[in-house]
A = this chain, B = another copy of it.
């Protein structure tokens, strides 16, 4: 049955609440309004305002409150209204949510799900389109998950709510209303498994969240250039599935990592670093990266220039040294600097 990612997420919340009394959902505007993206639509009407409720407008408060609720035995699922509006909660996330199990030698666990609608492509004004996954992925103790398909949206969110660890659940806003056939309740691969979304022999595109559809589109377009590209959807950034990714790259011998976030010190850097560490002798070219630019997320009219699109991916694939020649881009600069 065709449904949207937004509806799948909503169904996951509803089913989790129905299955487990301890699940409570709260945040800004998640109650009667059902969330600005309607992900919590109908939950308050169905489960009452003790199970799904609005809070004061304060994100550190929301996350810290969730910590306390988790200590009392509940299973809070909180919504940050937009990516950049989770930053006020950063201390609570980094210093408590991520660390409480560790600090207490496992005596306290905080199985909280922090839902973060993230990334751009929806014409949002400033502060509404940040890609913030790297901040969380770099923070030990957090699991970081991002679905790219409707079925994964349902399945990964159910798993996140059931997981004994805190999960930062990054929802690609631009995919909320993309629809696909999915029989809910769907169960897909568990946390820690990447999935080959499209098999291919010539090179591997590794992507996650909002970049997955771009990778698939690029792979399709690449056929015209004679390249048969494999697309791996990372799904869970933490824990990361080295096995699937390296197996793919060892098969293809070439790899491009795609993320929407600004590139510098992002998750794509980690993936590129890991892949070349583990697949060095299989690589015919360096692992290349395609990402957003290293700039603050731009205004709506300029976002298409910022966002890594099919062309940028194909340009990069073209640089995978198919002729086994070094990348010309780096040569002049090098000679200059070596001089």
A interface residues, Cβ below 8 angstroms from B = 60, 84, 87-88, 90-91, 94-95, 98-99, 102-103, 126-127, 130, 134-135, 137-138, 140-141, 238, 240, 242-244, 246-247, 250, 261-262, 264-270, 272-273, 276-281, 283, 285-289, 293-296, 321, 326-327, 330, 333-334, 337-338
Q: Which residues of B sit under 8 angstroms from A278, Cβ to Cβ?
A: 286, 327, 330, 334
Given contacts A84-B95, A99-B296, is CB(A276)–CB(B286) below 8 Å? yes
Q: Which residues of B sit under 8 angstroms from A135, Cβ to Cβ?
A: 135, 138
CB-contact partner of A238 in B127, B141, B247, B264, under 8 A = B264
Given contacts A91-B87, A266-B265, A269-B269, is CB(A337)–CB(B246) below 8 Å? yes
Contact B250 A338 (CB under 8 A): yes
Contact B296 A98 (CB under 8 A): yes
A–B complex contacts, Cβ < 8 Å, 22 sampled: A84-B91, A87-B90, A87-B95, A99-B126, A102-B296, A103-B126, A135-B135, A138-B261, A138-B265, A141-B295, A246-B334, A265-B269, A268-B273, A269-B270, A269-B273, A277-B288, A277-B327, A278-B286, A278-B330, A279-B330, A280-B321, A281-B326
Contact A296 B140 (CB under 8 A): yes
Q: How far is the CA of A242 from the CA of B283 in the complex (A)?
A: 22
Q: Which residues of B sit under 8 angstroms from A261, Cβ to Cβ?
A: 138
CB-contact partner of A246 in B126, B289, B330, under 8 A = B330
Q: How far is the CA of A240 from the CA of B265 in the complex (A)?
A: 11
Given contacts A90-B87, A135-B135, A270-B269, is CB(A140)–CB(B280) below 8 Å? no
Given contacts A87-B94, A238-B264, A269-B273, is CB(A140)–CB(B295) below 8 Å? yes
CB-contact partner of A286 in B141, B247, B267, B277, under 8 A = B277
Given contacts A91-B90, A338-B250, is CB(A270)–CB(B265) below 8 Å? yes
Q: Which residues of B sit under 8 angstroms from A84, Cβ to Cβ?
A: 91, 94-95
Given contacts A95-B127, A276-B272, A280-B285, is CB(A140)–CB(B264) below 8 Å? yes
Q: Which residues of B sit under 8 angstroms from A293, Cβ to Cβ?
A: 140
Contact B295 A286 (CB under 8 A): no
Q: How far is the CA of A279 from the CA of B273 in the complex (A)?
A: 13
Interface of A, helix, strand, loop or mixed by DSSP: helix
Copies of the protein in its oligomer:
2
Kindly provide the distance from the CB of A236 to the nearest chain B CB, expressed in whole angstroms.
13
Given contacts A87-B90, A88-B91, A138-B135, is CB(A337)–CB(B243) below 8 Å? yes
Q: How far is the CA of A143 from the CA of B90 in the complex (A)?
A: 20
Contact B137 A265 (CB under 8 A): yes
Q: Which residues of B sit under 8 angstroms from A95, Cβ to Cβ?
A: 84, 87, 127
Q: Which residues of B sit under 8 angstroms from A127, Cβ to Cβ?
A: 95
Given contacts A273-B272, A277-B288, is CB(A137)–CB(B334) below 8 Å? no
Which residue of chain B has its CB nearest to the CB of A298? B102
Which residue of chain B has its CB nearest to the CB of A262? B140
Per CB-CB distance, the 3 closest pairs between chain A and chain B, nearest first, are A87-B91, A90-B90, A280-B286
Kindly provide the distance from the CB of A201 to the nearest chain B CB, expressed in whole angstroms.
15
